[in-house]
Amino acid sequence: MSDEETVPAARTPLARLNKPGLGTRFHIDFDWWQREEREIEVYLRTYLSEAQLEQLRQENAPQTVDWVDPETAEVRSMNFMEFLFRTNSAELMGGEEKGASLVDGIFRLFLANGNQPLSPVEIAEKVGRAGQERTILRTLAGVRVYKGIRPVD
């Protein structure tokens, strides 16, 4: 893991009072990327296939698209890159290289599921790390913030 992708978490008295547990839900905090002055769009492109990158490069590629949530039928607007992740989630999760890090697998999971908050127990199940719930919790709730993955406020 490079220093580019991790930053020590801010230490505040309130943060210490609300210590995350196995039921705490996490997500990618996109505001964290802005606060840390990181270019998430550039980073996210590394997860796209050549065909998806070509779709983004097309002059007439839409900036936003309407997405219908399959569970709630709610329509919401999302940027085109997020749409590519949502419509190719199996490819995103199946494209993990052998030996990919735990954090990378979790990051891919959140990209594939539309950044829906999940607990360490749910994450372990979905990334094939059953029995590693406490390791996931220690990683995500530790001093460092990895790839913007933080507890939901």
What is 57-107 written as a DSSP string?
HSTT--SEEEEE-TTT--EEEEEHHHHHHHHTHHHHHHTPPTT--HHHHHH
**What backbone phi and psi angles, to 5 degrees, belong to 33?**
-60, -40
pLDDT for the residue numbered 2: 52
pLDDT for the residue numbered 5: 60
Residues recorded for the chain: 153
Distance of CA 1 to the CA centre of its chain: 16
Cα–Cα distance list, 28 to 4, 45, 61, 116, 147 (Å): 16, 16, 25, 9, 7
**What backbone phi and psi angles, to 5 degrees, belong to 130?**
-55, 140
Global confidence as pTM: 0.76
pLDDT for the residue numbered 7: 57
- 123 in Cβ contact with 149 (< 8 Å): no
Q: Which DSSP letter does residue 11 get?
A: P
Pairwise CA distance, residues 135 & 15, whole Å: 20
Which residues of the chain have a pLDDT value below 50? 1, 3-4, 12-13, 15
Give the closest residue to 20 by CA, choosing from 120, 112, 145, 93: 120
pLDDT for the residue numbered 61: 75
